[in-house]
Amino acid sequence: MSTDNDVTTLDTPIPGITRADLRRAALGSSIGSALEYYDFALYSLASALIFGPLFFPSANPATGLILSFATYFLGFAVRPLGGIVFGRIGDKVGRKFVLVVTILLMGGSSTLIGLLPTYNSHPGDWWGGVGILAPILLVALRMLQGLGAGAEMAGASIIMTESAPATERGFWASLPFMSIQIGTVAAALVYFLLFNVSQTIPITDTWLWRIPFLASALLLVAAIFIRLRLKESPTFKKLQAHDEIDRTPIRSLLTVSRGTVLRGIGIRMAENGSSSIFQALAVAYVTSAAVGVTGPIGALSLVFAASLGAVVVPIAGRLTDRYGRVKVYRAFAIYQLVTAFPLWYLLSTGNTVLIIVAVTLALGIGSWGMFGSQSAFMCELFGSRQRYLGVATAREVSAVLAGGIAPLLGALILSLSITAEGGPGVPGAGIGAWIPIAGYLSLLCLITVLTTFTIAEPGGRDLNVPEDALNDPAIRVGGRVDA
């Protein structure tokens, strides 16, 4: 029998999710999300600022930057595999089990990066320089990190969406995404402080660069403790109770959910691409010979951007509950599209204040506005039996196509531009790279905007229905869920 505190939803016939359970789920999901994006921002900043000389020493700094971003990309490249493997487990064994495993993989890998030896001998090395073994170990840990991340946010989104009241899903499901900003701010502040402490000696010549990675262990312990106390989502419990768990979710995904997966990939191109471009590539651009800004400008920009994003994300989630997932998401994608060239022009000016403003507006409103609109939206697109696998696959394939490739492609564009405009060491060489980079970002945003016009509004649909939103007879094209 349910109690007055039970969270009753239009689509959850199984009682037992109280407001306390919902808050605990939000906290457990949020800490995991904070850890993932702490690691994400940490690795983005490290790729742009320190990994080159530590693990890929080269006479040409541009080559070291490209190799550094190549390892960054590899973490994205294995995420679809992690999404498929753990998504399948999540649809067969349960959402909670996967959330515990993925947090162990992500947090453990990040902590171990802080213990790695480097290519050449540095004061912060535990074992001295180990040559080629150093980048090999870095790549291996980055790939393990990517495997865990491949199912982390999908699981956090699903357990919140399936546990929340139907009329409040957008808000509750956005909360783990709000914690992304906390993780990003934490990583940026740590690097900001480290660069200020290490003003006289390059941070790569000290052990200080290891501290941010070792700190992952603290978040890891807290996340595991809370996640072990989570309740399984009502939708999965209903599937278990009625013996309706899909024994071949991958086959179902490839046959009945192919169109939904493609739409999920499409709506993430602008969000994930712009997030990676402004968190990683923009930092490399403004601190390169092209613009020549010195100091912790990248970390400081992320602090301002993430602080704004922490406010925008829950507001965006609430707006989707009121006005619909599709309209709100499309609005943020259009914003990112029309501001691509103006904001990248500001980055090219070399003005510190304008650079901070550009990164803050791009990430804080554009990228993270889509984040806040996305969580319940993606989950509602898929049917109950292959939801975890579907959301994870769509999220992580797009992470490779947009987020992983974008900084690597941008680094290549920057390197070619530097060479064409005088070569490494020439002041201002490569400054014109902002034009093709902004064009690439605009293309990603256009793909997302066009994709939103192929999706009927899924907000508030019955999450126990096995059909995807595209095949759900309760949804009419261009409208809301029928009563």
Distance of CA 196 to the CA centre of its chain: 27
| Whole-number pLDDT of residue 4 | 40
| Mean local confidence (pLDDT), 215-233 | 82
Query: What pLDDT score was predicted for residue 373?
Result: 95
Give the pLDDT confidence score for residue 442 in this predicted structure.
Answer: 95
The pLDDT of residue 6 is above 60: no
pLDDT digits (tens, 9 = 90+) for 318-331: 999 999 999 999 99
Q: What is the pLDDT of residues 163-200, one digit of tens each?
A: 888 889 999 999 888 887 788 778 777 777 776 765 66
Domains of the chain: 19-245+258-471 (1.20.1250.20)
CB 303 within 8 A of CB 279: no
**b/e sequence 353-376, b meaning 16+ C-beta within 10 Å:** eebbbbbbbbbbbbbbbbbbbbbb
**Amino acid at site 391:** V
* More confident of the two residues 223 and 109: 109
Question: What pLDDT is stored for residue 482 in this prediction?
Answer: 37
Task: For residue 169, give the 3-state DSSP assignment.
Answer: helix
Average pLDDT for residues 295-304, to the nearest whole number? 76
- Collapsing DSSP states into helix, strand and coil, what is residue 5? coil
Top mean pLDDT of 86-95, 155-164, 219-228, 438-447 is at 438-447
Of residues 49 and 259, which shows the higher confidence score? 259
Residue 475 to residue 388: CA distance in whole angstroms: 21
Question: Of 173, 449, 452, 467, nearest to 320 (Cα)?
Answer: 173
Is the sign of the CA dihedral 275, 380, 5, 232 positive or negative?
negative
| pLDDT, tens only, 66-124 | 766 677 677 778 888 888 899 889 888 888 888 888 888 888 888 998 888 887 766 65
Helix axes 79-92, 387-398, angle to 10 degrees: 170
Give dist(CA 179, CA 185) in Å, integer.
Answer: 10
Residue with tokens 């020493």: 57
pLDDT in tens, 113-157: 888 888 776 665 666 666 778 888 888 888 888 888 888 888 888
DSSP string for 19-58: HHHHHHHHHHHHHHHHHHHHHHHHHHHHHHHTHHHHHS--
Neighbouring residues of 372: CB distance < 8 A, sequence distance ≥ 6: 174, 177, 178, 312, 313, 314, 315, 316, 317, 320
Q: Is the pLDDT of residue 48 over 70?
A: no
What region, left, alpha or beta, does residue 128 occupy, with left being phi > 0 and alpha being psi -120 to 50 degrees? Answer: left
How far, CA to CA in Å, does 375 sit from each of 12, 157, 248, 259, 369?
Answer: 19, 5, 25, 19, 11
Q: Across the strands, what pairs with 481?
A: 475
CA atoms within 13 A on the CB side of 179: 22
Question: How far is the C-alpha of 374 from the C-alpha of 256, rounded, in Å?
Answer: 22
Mean pLDDT, rounded, of the chain: 81
pLDDT confidence bin for 448, thresholds 50/70/90: very high
Judge whether residue 11 has pLDDT over 60.
no
pLDDT category at 472 given cuts 50, 70, 90 is confident
392: pLDDT strictly greater than 70: yes
Instruction: Compute CA distances 295 → 191, 278, 283, 287, 305, whole Å.
Output: 11, 17, 11, 8, 18
Phi, then psi, of 280 in degrees rounded to 5: -110, -55
What one-character-per-residue DSSP string does 250-277 give? HHHHHHHSHHHHHHHHHHHHHHHHHHHI
Look at residue 46 in the predicted model and tell me its pLDDT. Answer: 77
| Per-residue pLDDT, 19 | 76
Checking if the pLDDT of 247 tops 90, the result is: no
User: What tokens does 37 get?
Assistant: 């994006």
Tell me the residue length of the chain. Answer: 483
What is the band of 8 on the pLDDT scale with cuts at 50, 70, 90?
A: very low
Going along 206-315, which residue ranges are E strands?
A: none
Q: 255: exposed, middle or buried (C-beta count within 10 Å: 0-12, 13-18, 19+)?
A: exposed
The span from the CA of 89 to the CA of 97, in Å, is: 9
**Highest mean pLDDT (candidates 64-78, 152-166, 299-313, 332-346):** 332-346
- Tell me which residue of 403, 358, 367 sits closest to 181, measured CA to CA: 367
Tell me the average pLDDT across 259-279: 92
pTM of the model: 0.80
What proportion of the chain, given as a percentage, has pLDDT over 70? Answer: 83
Q: Is the confidence at residue 215, as pLDDT, over 80?
A: yes
